[in-house]
Structure 1
Amino acid sequence: MTPPTVSTPPFPAGFAWGTASSATQSQGATPADNWWGWEQAGKAPASGDGNAFDTLYASDFALLAAWGFGDYRMSLDWARLEPQPGQHDAHAIEHYRNILKAGRDASLNMWVCLLHTALPAWFAAEGGFLAPKAGETWARHVTFIAETFGDLADGWMPINNPTAYAQKAYLTGTFPPGHASQEEFLTVLQAVHQADFEAALILRQGGKPTSTNEALLTLHPADNSAETAGIAALIDSVVWDSWLNLARTPRYQDAFDQYGFSYYFSPAINASGDLLPYPAANPVGPQGYVPWAPGLGEVLARLHKELPDKRFLVAEIGYGGEDDASRAVYLQEAIGQVHDAMRTGMDIAGIHLWTAIDNYEWLDGHHVAFGLFDRDRTPRPSARIIQSLMRK
């Protein structure tokens, strides 16, 4: 069945349409990273080969380019590149260079992410971003990436969703190392955001654009109590101020050429700090939240207010689940929110969709579909809707 279409005006010439992926999700975990250990301990489903990207990347790029996409964001797996401290794997370097070359040969602009969730096991054993010399270790890695892959990168996105990483790894404990410590969370939150901005200062020296990818949302108080207002303000500060304060400092105000972000939901919150599905009357998706396009509009409006005269990138939007008709409607409505924001004068460089091809979804394994294409590379009807929007 063909999904219903939503009227969306054309975007201006030069607007970037892309898709995004990560190493672990598209290649699978490696014994050299800490997600592998998480899987082996039974705390996450096996990632296997991700979605077979390691062998199908050239044909995947050709498919996406033919479909009309111009950008592709991928991560270079630190653990594959440096399985032991100071020891770089020549085969992994060559493989990633071949992947980047194939993307460029397909006329895709290749955006490179340096860290997307999984850490080298040796770095994690040292304490990760809690380690006393984590900043030095990270800076060496960033410099290595810039020197080794800078000629093939068209843009840089240093760290994927810093706040979400700190929250899952050190507050809720659902990702490795599985800690639940408010003190550790706040320490890592600051450290990983600073690592992101410091990386941008290094990477932009090569002349390629840099972008953040913050996990952003707006909160809707579940009631009018002072307690709920207080906890909402606290969590809002974690989501927004943790990186905005850095962006406004003299050292970092020009670190990023554009401010990118991921959006999936905007929850309600109660006095206990519980995040609840919002709007409450809407269907809840398989990951426990409501895919609500107007929330993207709220995030865009907030960004425009907080960072006037800056350039932005919708670095990640997607819909998880088997209901492809709902995926098509949601994505069209979300894209409409972007178009509306641009009509108000907001400078938005483009949209990267999560994701092109069904992949591994961390704790949900292979059971939640986000792809415009399935693992067999068969397009879903929603892919044709997106293609029609890109060709307007």
Structure 2
Amino acid sequence: MTPSAASAPRFPTGFSWGTASSATQSQGATPADNWWAWEQAGKAPSSGNGNAFDTLYASDFALLAEWGFSDYRMSLDWARLEPRPGHHDAHAIEHYRRILTAGRDVGLTMWVCLLHTALPVWFADEGGFLSAKAADTWARHVNFIGETFGDLADGWMPVNNPTAYAQKAYLTGTFPPGHASQEEFLTALRTIHQADFEAALVLRQGGRPTSTNEALLTLHPADDSADTAGIAALVDSVVWDSWLNLARTSRYEDAFDQYGFSYYLSPAISASADLLPYPAGSPVGPQGYVAWAPGLGEVLARLHKELPGKRFLVAEIGYGGHHDTARATYLQAALGHVHDAMNTGMDISGIHLWTGVDNYEWLDGYDVPFGLFDRKRAPRPSAHRLKTLMHRGPAAGKNT
């Protein structure tokens, strides 16, 4: 049963409600990026033209603004902008400038991401973030983006889910380049996180806020053995310490104005490092995990403890699957955990939903919908429920 709107929490005035997307997922892959070759090799379904965002972006923004959303996060496709090293495509630049302008024209706060999975082929061929030239190449790209789009970006989220990216590309091999090397994974993990923090230092000089988007979860040991406890501690260190250690250094302690994160699951973990659905016996979604809202509460509690006094953003949360009643129930429960965390004194600026309009879901193609709206832009019942929650406003006489 879906909880009633009357029992839902009320959020303060100024709390931001956003949706998030990425270039490849909404525009489709391009021959200039390494995801295109991944598709051509049969390792992922065809992305086609994404969800037709390239032609429908203005009406999409108008729809989201009318629905009550205040923020929109998108990525600028590096491969489209720089299809060859040192050559920037004027058409792509103008297209992205038109997109950002259209969002701002309807009142959306536009957050810009510089890297969301796909790399230019030429950079990938050099070794990507394992290349000795990676830091210099990335710095040049960051400077170009800041100079070219700084007047239209309202906020920066430089790298999407650095840990998840490194894991899929270099450890499990499910994303290009498809490697399975612990050594490469640890190198990429360090390099990509440093790239994220370095980009934030540069971009925030333009006066716009910066935010991380870490893929966070809490782990639940599958048994009481010492081996399982040891593996859980190791994986936990990868998920959390890989970026927290940077955030606590003197160089990077002020790189980000807020710490954003994505939350989808809080799995159990076995002694062999297998991630298992948690809680056991709960419905497992099409991507193999349980959409468990209390796990969001666990992540928030840990962030509050690890980074006291900092500001946070739920930068990505969503429900994948065709069961829309379950989506509405899950999202309302998740909002409750955010509200509870704020009541403990945690400074949370807003929530960005994944996603507004159904898009391409990487290895799942178009089979796992996450959107509040389908690809025909028809709202699902969960969109109506969320709209009601967003428009409730703060409780009279209470600072909630």
TM-score category (smaller protein): over 0.9
How far is the alpha carbon of 1:9 from its aligned partner?
1.9
In the alignment, is the contact (CA less than 8 A) between 1:5 and 1:329 conserved in 2? no
Aligned AA for 1:156?
Answer: W
**Superposition CA RMSD, Å:** 0.7
How far is the alpha carbon of 1:190 from its aligned partner?
0.1
Partner of 1:5: 4
Deviates more, 1:315-324 or 1:6-15: 6-15
Partner of 1:287: 287
Taking the aligned partners of 2:339 and 2:45, their CA distance within structure 1 comes to 38
Gaps of 5+ in 2: 393-400
Partner of 1:356: 356
How far is the alpha carbon of 1:23 from its aligned partner?
0.1
Aligned AA for 1:105?
Answer: D
Partner of 1:47: 47
Q: What secondary structure is seen at the aligned counterpart in 2 of 1:372? A: coil
How far is the alpha carbon of 1:8 from its aligned partner?
1.7
In the alignment, is the contact (CA less than 8 A) between 1:71 and 1:109 conserved in 2? yes
Aligned AA for 1:51?
Answer: N
Partner of 1:318: 318
| 1:155 lines up with 2:159 in the alignment | no
How far is the alpha carbon of 1:4 from its aligned partner?
4.6
Q: When the two structures are superposed, what TM-score results if normalisation uses the length of structure 1?
A: 0.99
Taking the aligned partners of 1:142 and 1:230, their CA distance within structure 2 comes to 38
Taking the aligned partners of 1:112 and 1:11, their CA distance within structure 2 comes to 25
In the alignment, is the contact (CA less than 8 A) between 1:85 and 1:122 conserved in 2? yes
In the alignment, is the contact (CA less than 8 A) between 1:247 and 1:253 conserved in 2? yes
Q: What secondary structure is seen at the aligned counterpart in 1 of 2:301? A: helix
Taking the aligned partners of 2:366 and 2:384, their CA distance within structure 1 comes to 23
In the alignment, is the contact (CA less than 8 A) between 2:263 and 2:317 conserved in 1? yes
Q: Deviations over 1:2-47 (max 9, x none)?
A: 9553522210010000000000000000000000000000000000
Where in structure 2 are the equivalents of 1:1-392 lying within 5 Å? 4-5=3-4, 7-392=7-392
In the alignment, is the contact (CA less than 8 A) between 1:3 and 1:324 conserved in 2? no
In the alignment, is the contact (CA less than 8 A) between 1:211 and 1:257 conserved in 2? yes
Aligned AA for 1:5?
Answer: S
Taking the aligned partners of 1:83 and 1:195, their CA distance within structure 2 comes to 20
In the alignment, is the contact (CA less than 8 A) between 2:319 and 2:327 conserved in 1? yes
Taking the aligned partners of 1:49 and 1:70, their CA distance within structure 2 comes to 26
In the alignment, is the contact (CA less than 8 A) between 1:8 and 1:389 conserved in 2? yes
Runs of 4+ with deviation above 4 angstroms: none
In the alignment, is the contact (CA less than 8 A) between 2:3 and 2:332 conserved in 1? no
Aligned AA for 2:322?
Answer: E
In the alignment, is the contact (CA less than 8 A) between 1:169 and 1:179 conserved in 2? yes
Q: When the two structures are superposed, what TM-score results if normalisation uses the length of structure 2?
A: 0.97
Q: Deviations over 1:294-350 (max 9, x none)?
A: 000000000000000000000000000000000000000001100000000000000
In the alignment, is the contact (CA less than 8 A) between 1:171 and 1:180 conserved in 2? yes
Aligned AA for 1:203?
Answer: L
- Percent of residue pairs bearing the same amino acid type: 82
In the alignment, is the contact (CA less than 8 A) between 2:310 and 2:347 conserved in 1? yes
In the alignment, is the contact (CA less than 8 A) between 1:3 and 1:382 conserved in 2? no
Partner of 2:398: none
In the alignment, is the contact (CA less than 8 A) between 1:68 and 1:387 conserved in 2? yes
Taking the aligned partners of 2:3 and 2:58, their CA distance within structure 1 comes to 32
Aligned AA for 1:352?
Answer: H
Taking the aligned partners of 2:284 and 2:191, their CA distance within structure 1 comes to 34
Q: Deviations over 1:205-253 (max 9, x none)?
A: 0000000000000000011100000000000000000000000000000
Taking the aligned partners of 1:388 and 1:265, their CA distance within structure 2 comes to 26
Taking the aligned partners of 2:90 and 2:335, their CA distance within structure 1 comes to 41
In the alignment, is the contact (CA less than 8 A) between 1:5 and 1:332 conserved in 2? no
Taking the aligned partners of 1:36 and 1:368, their CA distance within structure 2 comes to 20
Taking the aligned partners of 2:8 and 2:245, their CA distance within structure 1 comes to 35
